[in-house]
Structure formats: structure tokens, C-alpha cells
Amino acid sequence: MEIYEMSLGELDRGLEAGTFSLNEIFQSLVSRMEAREKVTQAFVELDIDRVRSEIALIDRHGRATSISGIPFGVKDIFNTRDRVTSYGSSIFEGYQPVSDAAVVSRLRSAGGVVMGKTVTTEFAYFFPGKTRNPHHPDHTPGGSSQGSAAAVADFMVPFAIGSQTAASVIRPAAFCGVIGYKASVAQFPLNGALTLSYSMDSLGFFVRSPEDLCLLRNVLLGVSPRAGALKPRKIGLVRTPYWSELDSESQSAIETAGSDLAESGIEIREVEVDGREGVDLVDAHQIVMAFEVSRSRAAEYENQREKLSDQFTELVEAGRQISFQAYEQALKQRDSANQRLRTELGDYDLFLTASAPGEAPKGLSSTGDPKFSRAWNLIGGPSVTLPAGKGLTQLPLGVQLVGHFNKDDDLIAHASWIQQNIQLGTSN
Amino acid sequence: MEIYEMSLGELDRGLEAGTFSLNEIFQSLVSRMEAREKVTQAFVELDIDRVRSEIALIDRHGRATSISGIPFGVKDIFNTRDRVTSYGSSIFEGYQPVSDAAVVSRLRSAGGVVMGKTVTTEFAYFFPGKTRNPHHPDHTPGGSSQGSAAAVADFMVPFAIGSQTAASVIRPAAFCGVIGYKASVAQFPLNGALTLSYSMDSLGFFVRSPEDLCLLRNVLLGVSPRAGALKPRKIGLVRTPYWSELDSESQSAIETAGSDLAESGIEIREVEVDGREGVDLVDAHQIVMAFEVSRSRAAEYENQREKLSDQFTELVEAGRQISFQAYEQALKQRDSANQRLRTELGDYDLFLTASAPGEAPKGLSSTGDPKFSRAWNLIGGPSVTLPAGKGLTQLPLGVQLVGHFNKDDDLIAHASWIQQNIQLGTSN
């Protein structure tokens, strides 16, 4: 196993055991980067010498946390005080914030080293950046956290920060074949990060192991690391009203996971969340998102519309057409779904569902369909996508595990158990 | 009645009727400012010539909305692209953001004109700015939105923007004798404004009439203006566990309001929200606030601690001592209180309670006690404070009306009815 293939936990243990040094980790990641970045283009820009000297400084002072001296990727919607932050938009070309985003600051003060800013779609919405899927350069890596997903998948950093408002962590993680975690709304500070939807934006991480999510939550929130994996007792299998839009390999990955989980003694029941009583949570999500984006990004739309993509302009204009009553109605649908998850579905440990419609589509002009995360994102709880083998064209698939609001640690512990005990996806 | 005493609605109607011009409004406010600002010191800095020319430009193009050409105050935690934004902190002395905060941008694009940035405490927490209470310069105006409250109370602008995490709108509005409105969490975009608590920060407004809140919600959110006031059917009177800490005039203002409301045919019942089953929501609020501030302001604490006040440093350090379990527990207490408000207390239209412990305390080194808003702020719904006469030393008192989460328009309509139909406070 190459060093660059290791998870954060493996790196930390290797460093503590003296198996390799911080400099060897850095060299291993840089060699991988030199081989791959030209094709994958995960980073906005790189300054390897600066990273080297930051790591050397930490090496001299000694490591204090599990991430000390470890390089990571930062989606370019998070402010950095010493690197340009452009939010994927020409409006902010060359913009240099005065402070780090809160999560970046915390990771750095714990010794983490910013390897570089990773490519984002324009304002974390649809208009894509330059990043390509590490598994096939003619395919999208997904979006909006495309550079972060690809940088981890292509072994250029062990972890990277992303964010999600519709499917911006779960989808690119699934398309790139890595673990993605989208946190409950307001689990982490998002100040110093671009706002899209003030009721739905969430922090996310791309990692190689569920354990790494615990390490990061320990550094950022002080969560005590758990005793590892936790076997779920009851799981809801959610086909969604869009089951027929999933490719058959993705359907099979979910169904097989369901029967394997049942075989291991876990109670599995099919449940509906979206699509009940005529309520379309995907629609509700789109209403909330467009309404809020038209308010949050008012300044760019009002003052520099000519520098916005057609997609973004259409989103803002759609949001301006939505009445406050329609917006309120969508929030009420969210509240009802949430209430049902707390009560009627409260004894389900998690929900097993699709991460994306299938493999990453061909072409770089679109980042794929976010539909399979919209309803969950509206509800606001945590999600984890786990790699689930490959599809027909040998590109990665994922399955999504959804937890209860603010029970992120339970979800991560369950995801850890599932990853260790269930063979996800076909073995091709 | 002087023009500067008028509400936004009155100004709008006067302009439409041709009773006075935009320039006359401007001159009236400026004359008031020249008479008062030297004492009150509500603004960080003023550039009257710029305001004059912005209004003249709008005058030439014609008014498009109810706020076209109307000057307003902006708490200096909201970014402005053409004015320094310092968040009340020497760390950001001379800082010039590149964009307007989302709400500022929307108000400006609707024709509103920024009169100036208003004084805030340091990072919207406790360390006070220079503003004095318009009713007595030796007394605090309250905080954190002290300049916005004082600027409206002293008739220098008809409305101003504030924000609240503990009591930063309700308390200064009560101390200064104006109407304050603290919105439900996530009713308005807060991007481009300083973050303190990512689960509790809310937008607020200081106005002269509940009607003005409808006008502002129409401009910002597209809420259709209602047919005015709405009589409540059932009101909960909440003494809180801290009743004995209220001065007797404030107790009497609440009790008299309760009996007058009952006399008008509204069902009034005493209810407890905080302090049930050993749960202290004021404590829970302090835990959530300290924990989240220690994360959201990590960058300033890590990098420029020497420029923080002792109060702010203590807040961050207290937050770092709080375990994630204690934080989770406080959020669960919030969720339980919220659940009870939705169910058991769901048929109460609003809750009548204290805005502050009494009159504005003497001295400028403290902004007074936020205790009476903390529990409500934790819960996250809307509040309105209405002026309720004066206390023993002839300084203003207020009573607080609290609504259900995301039912801000109902609360405003009820507050409007109460203001029109009930004599609040003694008539001294």
C-alpha cells in the first residue's frame, strides 16, 4: 500500500509508530499529484513549496492532533486568508479574503495544512469547473464539490472539505468512488463560506474511512471518538418515487445491500419518505433553494449579472418568481416530513437509499442529477455515501445512508459497521 | 408632527400624496441628526453628502417601492461594499468588504439608502461601543444593536437593521423605547453579516410601527402586505423563573397588559416555558452560544487574541471548555421546548413576557442583562418588543411578544392589534 492511499487514521497511526515521517507523506502525495493533477485538475492552483515549508514547521514543533502536518483540500467556497478564494465565479477572480473560514481556521490551528483550494462549480451550484472524474477524464466528477471529491479519489490528499445544498457532497463522492459525509444543518460553523441556501447549506467531508469522520469531528467539535462501529438494529430501505430513474446496477446495489443487511440480522423494511400524500419533497427542495438563493445572492445578481452563468441567473430569477406563500408551504412540507422521521420513523436507525442515478455521466458540461439527495437535504439531517462497486462502464457507484437530524455520530458509527460487514455493490 | 418622527408607512404615504418630498425627509432627518448625534453617537461614521446625492438620484428616477429614497441605519456587523465594516472590533479597523450583505443589497436595490453604519458592541457580544441612550446619555442604550436602536429612537432614521443572538434587538429596543422585531432563525439571509451562533443568529429591525415590519418583509421576502391588525384569541402570560428580577414597573406592565387583554375578550393563561422539569433554557442558551461562538470566531481567537476584549475572550474560552455532549444536551432541551410549543402550547397565538429586567441601567460599561430573551432566542421563533411606558427614572420600558417559529407574520399582525387596542405601561 502506498502512503498516498492511506486514510487519515492510518497516516496518524503510521506517524505515531514512526513507520514514516510527515515529509514522506508529503512526498508521496506530491508524487501522486505530479502524476495525476494534469489530467484530473482538482485544484484551482497549487503552491507546493509553501505546503512543504508549513509541514516542515509543524514537524519541528511536534504533532498535537491526528491531523497535525496532514495536507487537506479546501473547496474554493471557503475563505482562506493566504490564498485566492473565487467561489467558482469570475466576479471574485483574484479575491483575497482577510480571514480563514471558521472550519479552515480550526483545522489549521489543529495542525492541518491546506494543500490547495479545490475546484467548485460557480457558487456551488451547477455551472461546472475544470475538474475531471479520476476514473475517466471524459466523465464529470459530479458537483458542486468536484475538486474535493476528485482530489481524495485520486489520492492527492487524504481528506477534503466540501459543502452541500442539494447533492454537492453525496453525488461527487459517489461518482468518484470515495466516502462522502454531509453533516446535519448547523452542526458546523459555515461562516467564511459562501451562502446559497440559509436553511439548507451544510458542511461536508470526503474521506477514505468512516473513522476519519470521527477524527475530524473530534478536532472541530470536540466529539469524543467512539468505540468504532455500531451495528444498526433497524434500517428503512427507501426506493424513492424515482426508482425507475436509477440504473439497474444502482438498484441492485441497494437491494443487495438490503438483503445482506437483513441476513446479518438487521430488521429491514421498505419505507416511503418523499412522495406521500401528494407531497413532492424534491419540488419543495427546489422551491426553498431557489427562493433562498435569490435572496442570499442578491448582491451578485443586482450588481454583476453579466458575470453569472445562465444556470445561476435562471436559479435567481426562478426564486424571484416564487411567492412567499409557496416558500412557506415548502417549509411546512419539510417540517411535516421531519416530524414523521422523529415519530413514526423514529426507531429506524438509518435509511438506505440511492446516492445518485448511477455512474458519472459522460461529458463535463453537466455535473449530473442531484435528485436523489434533494429530499434528504431539505429535511436537514446527516448523510453518508459509501462506495458500492462499479457500474457497467467501470465507474464507481455509491449507496446513501441517511440518519436522523443531529445524530451524525450515530450515522457514522452505523456506516462504519456496514462498511466493515457488508460487501457493497458487485465485486467487478 | 415633524417629518423625522414619522414611520416608514407614514413617510411612504406622505410622499405618494405629495405632502413632502424625499429631500424634505432627508433634511428633516439631517437636522435631527445635527441636533442629537453628538450626544447619542449612534453611527460609526457619517457621510451626509453621499446620502444626499444617492437620494437625489432616486428622486430623479422615481420611487419604485415603499422604501425608495428612505434612509436607514445598518448595524456595523453587516458588510457594505462602499463603507468600512468593523464589526465593533479593532481587528477589522478600516476593513472594506467587497460586497454588500444580502439584506443590505436587497434594501438598496429596492431604493433604500444607507444613512450610515450604526454602532455595535464588539462582534455583537457584550463589549460596548460609544452609543448612549437617547433618553439619558448616562445610561446604556442596550446591546448589541445599540446604534440601530438609538438611531431610530432618536429620530435620525425611520428604521434600522439589527441582529440578535441573545437579546441584541429586544433589549436595546426596550431600553430606547422603540419597536424591535427579532425574526425566526433563517427567515432572512444573514450572509455578509458576522456570525456568532450558527444555530441562533437572527435578523432584526427597529421601527416606529408594526406596519413597517410588513413593508420591510414585503421588500425582502415578497410577503404580501396583510389587512393590518389581527386580534389574538389566546395568549400565554409567561412570568419566567426570573420574575423576581424584574423591577415592579415591568412586572406591572406585563400584568396590566394581561388583564387589559383579558378584558378585551382574549383568553389569557399563565404558562411556563423555561424552568420546567429542572430544565434551565437560559443555561442551555449560554451553552449553545459559547460552544458555537468558540467555533465560529476561531480565526480571531487563534490569530489575534490580543485584540479581543476580556469578555469576548472569556466567551470563546468558556465555549472551548464545553463538551460536545453538554452542547448536544442543550440542543435537545431546545428541541423539547420547541416540540411543546408546537403541540401542548400550539393553540396559543403568542406569549406575553418581559423584554428586559427594567429600565436601561446607568453607565456605559455594560449593555444590561440579556436573560429575558435568552430562552426565546434558543427556541428560535420570532419576538416583537413594544414600548410600554416609562419606569421610575422616566426611561422606557417594553413588553415582549413571542410567536411560533416561522409564524412571524402572525406575530406582527397580533402585535399590531395589541399596540392599537391596549394601553401598554403606565401613562406617566
Minimum-distance CB partner of B95 among A98, A109, A224: A98
Interface of A with B in 333-392 (CB under 8 A): none
| Residue the block writes with cell 464507481 | A396
Q: Do A298 and B106 touch (CB under 8 A)?
A: yes
Q: State the virtual CA torsion across A199, A203, A204, A205 in degrees, nearest 10.
A: 180
| Residue B337 Cα, gap to closest chain A Cα (Å) | 14
Q: Do A222 and B194 touch (CB under 8 A)?
A: no
> A190 — contact with chain B (CB < 8 Å)?
yes
In angstroms, the CA B268 to CA B349 distance is 10
CATH 3.90.1300.10 fits B234-279+328-421, yes or no: yes
What are the pLDDT tens digits along chain A (428 aa)?
999 999 999 999 999 999 999 999 999 999 999 999 999 999 999 999 999 999 999 999 999 999 999 999 999 999 999 999 999 999 999 999 999 999 999 999 999 999 999 999 999 999 999 999 999 999 999 999 999 999 999 999 999 999 999 999 999 999 999 999 999 999 999 999 999 999 999 999 999 999 999 999 999 999 997 768 999 999 999 999 999 999 999 999 999 999 999 999 999 999 999 999 899 999 999 999 999 999 999 999 989 999 999 999 999 999 999 999 999 999 999 999 999 999 999 999 999 999 999 999 999 999 999 999 999 999 999 999 999 999 999 999 999 999 999 999 999 999 999 999 999 997 54
Annotated catalytic residue A75: yes
Grid cell in block for residue A156:
492527492
Give yes or no for a contact between A180 and A188, defined as CB atoms under 8 angstroms apart. no
Minimum-distance CB partner of A189 among B224, B292, B300: B292
pLDDT of residue A428: 42
Pick the residue from chain B with its C-alpha nearest to A300.
B99
Give yes or no for a contact between B119 and B146, defined as CB atoms under 8 angstroms apart. yes
Same fold across B3-221 and B234-279+328-421: yes
- Which residues sit opposite A118 in a β-bridge? A43, A75
Degrees to nearest 5, angle at CA B64 with B58 and B70:
55
Grid cell in block for residue B350:
403568542
Can you tell me the mean pLDDT for B414-419? 98
| Residue the block writes with cell 403606565 | B426
- Backbone φ, ψ for residue B147 (5° rounding): -65, -40
Minimum-distance CB partner of B323 among A192, A222, A298: A222
Q: Which of B28, B66, B75, B309 is catalytic?
A: B75
- CB under 8 Å to B173, separation ≥6 — which residues? B142, B149, B179, B180, B206, B355, B385, B398
Q: Which of A28, A68, A75, A163 is catalytic?
A: A75
| Residue the block writes with cell 412586572 | B251
Place domain A3-221 in its CATH homologous superfamily: Amidase signature (AS) domain (3.90.1300.10)
In angstroms, the CA B299 to CA A103 distance is 9
- Backbone φ, ψ for residue A204 (5° rounding): -145, 165
- Considering only CB atoms, which chain B residues are within 8 Å of A74? none
Helices (H) and strands (E) in chain A, counts: 14, 11
With a cut of 0.90, is the ipTM above it? yes
| Residue the block writes with cell 405618494 | B16
Give yes or no for a contact between A212 and A142, defined as CB atoms under 8 angstroms apart. no
> B296 — contact with chain A (CB < 8 Å)?
yes
**Residue B258, H or E segment:** helix B248-263
- Considering only CB atoms, which chain B residues are within 8 Å of A224? 323-325
Pick the residue from chain B with its C-alpha nearest to A104.
B299
In angstroms, the CA B214 to CA B226 distance is 8
- Note the pTM of the prediction, 2 decimals: 0.97
- Nearest to B184, CA basis, from B171, B194, B169: B169
Degrees to nearest 5, angle at CA A293 with A287 and A295:
110
* pLDDT tens digits, one per residue of B79-133: 999 999 999 999 999 999 999 999 999 999 999 999 999 999 999 999 999 999 9
Q: Do A298 and B81 touch (CB under 8 A)?
A: no
Q: Do A220 and B81 touch (CB under 8 A)?
A: no
Q: What is the DSSP letter of A279?
A: -
> A109 — contact with chain B (CB < 8 Å)?
yes
The amino acid present at A173, given as its one-letter code, is A
Grid cell in block for residue B140:
446604556
Q: How many CA atoms lie within 13 A of B318 on its CB side?
A: 14
Banded pLDDT at B428 (limits 50, 70, 90)? very low
| Residue B40 Cα, gap to closest chain A Cα (Å) | 32
H helices of A18-122, in order, are 22-40, 48-61, 102-109
Domain positions in chain B are: 3-221, 234-279+328-421
- Considering only CB atoms, which chain A residues are within 8 Å of B106? 295, 298, 302
pLDDT of residue A9: 97
Strand pairing category for B234-237 and A113-118: unpaired
Q: Which of A28, A86, A144, A309 is catalytic?
A: A144
Q: Do A189 and B296 touch (CB under 8 A)?
A: yes
Minimum-distance CB partner of B195 among A191, A298, A324: A191
The amino acid present at A364, given as its one-letter code, is L
Annotated catalytic residue A144: yes
pLDDT of residue A227: 66
| Residue B292 Cα, gap to closest chain A Cα (Å) | 7
Q: Do A198 and B189 touch (CB under 8 A)?
A: yes
Annotated catalytic residue A89: no
In angstroms, the CA A235 to CA A250 distance is 18
- Nearest to B333, CA basis, from B372, B278, B291: B278
- CB under 8 Å to A425, separation ≥6 — which residues? A249, A253, A256, A387, A388, A389, A390, A397, A399
Q: Which of A66, A145, A148, A168 is catalytic?
A: A168
Interface probe for B, chosen from A95, A191, A289 (most Cβ of B below 10 Å), is A191
- Nearest to B154, CA basis, from B50, B41, B68, B55: B41
Q: Which of B68, B168, B202, B209 is catalytic?
A: B168
Banded pLDDT at B227 (limits 50, 70, 90)? low
